[in-house]
Chain A
Amino acid sequence: MAWLSLLDTAILLGLCFSGVALGLVVSLRFLNYPDLTIEGSLPLGGAVGGLVLVHTGSLWAALAAAALAGGAAGLMTACLHVFLGVGRLLSGILMVAALYTVTLRVLGGSNLSLLRTEGTWRQIEAWDRAWADAQGVMLDPLKLSLLIVLVGAVSLGLVAFFHSRPGLAIRSIGDNEGFVAGLGRDPRPYKFFALALGNALAALSGALIGINQGFADVGMGQGALVLGLAGLILGEQSIGRLLGGRRLVPALIASGVVGSVLYQVLLLLSFRAGVTSSDVKLLTAAMILVVMVATGGGSFFYRGRTF
């Protein structure tokens, strides 16, 4: 039973974090833009989502507000890069610093408690808790179903979008920006849109994480990028390969979601196996490298890519 409960938490956390990996799919894989802003838009999403949840009690309003805030952050990054000519990495670094202050202001302190909120999420948790206590297990079936539906819907939406004309344009800019410009298409609006979308996904993730763990904290973004990347690479080398590799949109989207879950499963298994949490960061870095090298990922996925 313990294993099932561990798997339950891992899937729950993995789905909450999948927005980060999906954000990376959009910016890093499709647009070929190493967008570091995600590390700042995740806690921003947590803060904005949390604040809206506390004041309105509506889960949906909270998620929508978080996505909008993340989107705005992405637009700012795009402004820095496109209009001011700031480099791609630097524009993200600057935005992470700026967003730290914004997040602190939104939270009104370093930490916002989401334990006393009312509404849909609270009811779902209460139902899960009552059910689990009656069964004597530690599982959250309703919360899990809601997340599966939510992440599933977002994923399907992304697959559909990246098969549409604007989606295709974003992917071609990622492949060869000069070519797109040469065809007489202005790549700038697409960059704005893709960066906004990537950060909206990360912010959505931040809101889900905060609501799930019961607090939004200004330190939530720390290490989120590595975590998302670890998930994405794990996914690409497992389900991504199975579904046909990086030329295919559904394979990459599935990589993001399944990889995030897989990463959390491995993380919790390693805790269970007695690995202390202090060693997890080094193990994560080693795991990314091993997976990439062992599967020949260096040439399979990443040729001509930033990372």
Chain B
Amino acid sequence: MFRTCLAALVLSLFVTGCEGTPEPAKPIEPAKPVVRTVAIATLMTHPSLDLIVTSMKAEMEAKGFHEGETVKYTIQNANGDANAVVGILRDLELSHPDVTVAITTPVAQAAMKEVRGPLVFSAVTDPVGAGVVDSMEKPPPLITGVSDAWPYKAQLELARSLVPSAKSLGVVFNPGEAASQYGIARIRELAPPLGFEITEIPVSNTSEILGALKVKAAKLDAVFLSSDNTVISGVPAALSVCFDQKKPLFVGDSGTVEQGGLAAVSVGYDGVGRATGDLVARMLGGERNIPVVVASDAEVYLNLDTAKRIGLEIPADVRAQAKKVFGTP
């Protein structure tokens, strides 16, 4: 018992000695070929989330952290079971990783309680709203991450360049969803400087979209769908109204553009992964107090058939930046 106590005491001195968080970062010695450990906890397997891990590793590789040589990854996946998250994080934490990566909002939230060392979260849409950090610019010293919030600025700018004369922009959203509460606030802030007047079209379920949009569409120059699940599920209704009344429809995912939406700027998860890798590398290098990054790497999608149908010309420079163009030119 005495020995245990002594060990605990020594350990505590050691831990408090080297983990005084507000201390300036210690430079690492590049001479020693130490293997750094990175623990990754994710909520489920899902093409976008898997891409984050792959791209993160690629970015680390580019920064000189070679898997198996200078960095070792431990990955745990909760397989969609939110209840397994706490156990997984505690298990990862017990191996004292140099950096923990928490992917998705629930994992990041649980990590706030379980992880004591450097933490990089990823794919958290609204880190402030989720309670993960209090400020995007000044997170706690050991915590930073990447938000995969919709690139509202790029989306509105694209709308501006495709319909230069448009004034009134209809925004369909569900006020009951957290993602669009965040989204509508951003749109209110970003749209007026670009010359848009917003007409808010709140809906509470998919079946309301058709009616609500039909009533208001005549007065609108363009329609924008927010990032909530209700609206995205009800996209066919918005598509049919916009087709009938020849209004350009701007969305945030490639799938809707393929179905007939005019254009989208969507989050590139490769970019989210690369930004995550960059933060992990900086944390491993001893950097602290890193502001939260909002993924800026956005992908543009266009549908030329729709453009023809509503009588709109897509400038060549916009077409050139598109990742994928649907329809025949």
Contacts and interface: CB of A to CB of B under 8 A. Distances in A.
Interface of A: 1-2, 5-6, 9-10, 13, 17, 105, 108-111, 113-116, 125, 133-138, 209, 212-215, 217, 219-220, 222-224, 227, 264, 267-268, 271-272, 276-278, 280-281
Nearest to A12: B86
A110 B106 CA distance: 10
A115 B87 contact: no
Contacts of A214: 109-110, 112-113, 131
B131 A113 contact: yes
Given A108-B176, A136-B16, A220 B82 contact: yes
Nearest to B180: A109
Contact of A110 (B15, B87, B90, B178): B178
Given A115-B130, A215-B110, A280-B84, 12 more contacts: A1-B8, A125-B113, A135-B12, A136-B12, A138-B116, A215-B130, A220-B83, A222-B83, A268-B90, A271-B87, A277-B76, A277-B78
A276 B15 CA distance: 29
Contacts of B85: 213
B23 interface: no
A36 to B, nearest CB: 17
Contacts of A109: 176-179, 181
A276 B8 contact: no
Contacts of B78: 277
Interface in B101-125: 105-106, 109-110, 112-113, 116
B94 A213 contact: no
A215 B113 CA distance: 11
Contacts of A222: 80-83
Contacts of B83: 17, 209, 220, 222-224, 227
A29 to B, nearest CB: 22
Interface string B124-149: 00000111100000000000000000
Given A271-B88, A277-B88, A113 B15 contact: no
Contacts of A115: 109, 112-113, 130-132
B2 interface: no
Closest 4 CB pairs of A and B: A136-B12, A113-B131, A109-B178, A115-B131
A204 B110 CA distance: 19
A267 B90 CA distance: 12
B79 A277 contact: yes
Interface residues on B, range: 35 or more
B94 A5 contact: yes
A256 B110 CA distance: 26
Given A213-B113, A215-B110, A277-B88, A105 B79 contact: no
Contact of A13 (B7, B86, B93, B130): B86
Nearest to A222: B81
B282 to A, nearest CB: 24
Chain A: interface secondary structure? Answer: helix
B91 interface: yes
A138, A215, A280: which has the most chain B beta carbons within 10 Å? A215
A110 B82 CA distance: 12
24 contacts: A2-B94, A110-B177, A111-B106, A115-B113, A115-B130, A133-B15, A134-B16, A135-B8, A136-B13, A137-B11, A137-B12, A213-B82, A213-B113, A214-B110, A214-B112, A215-B106, A215-B110, A219-B106, A222-B82, A222-B83, A223-B83, A271-B87, A277-B77, A278-B79
B30 to A, nearest CB: 29
A27 to B, nearest CB: 20
B109 A113 contact: yes
Nearest to A116: B131
Contacts of B113: 115, 125, 212-214
A280 to B, nearest CB: 7
B46 to A, nearest CB: 13
A10 B84 CA distance: 11
A58 B8 CA distance: 35
A133 B116 CA distance: 9
A223 B81 contact: yes
B110 A213 contact: yes
A276 B76 contact: yes
Contacts of B110: 213-215
Contacts of B178: 108-111
Interface string B177-210: 1110100000000000000000000000000000
Contact of A272 (B8, B11, B84, B91): B91
B78, B80, B178: which has the most chain A beta carbons within 10 Å? B178
B81 A9 contact: no
A111 B69 CA distance: 39
Nearest to A20: B83
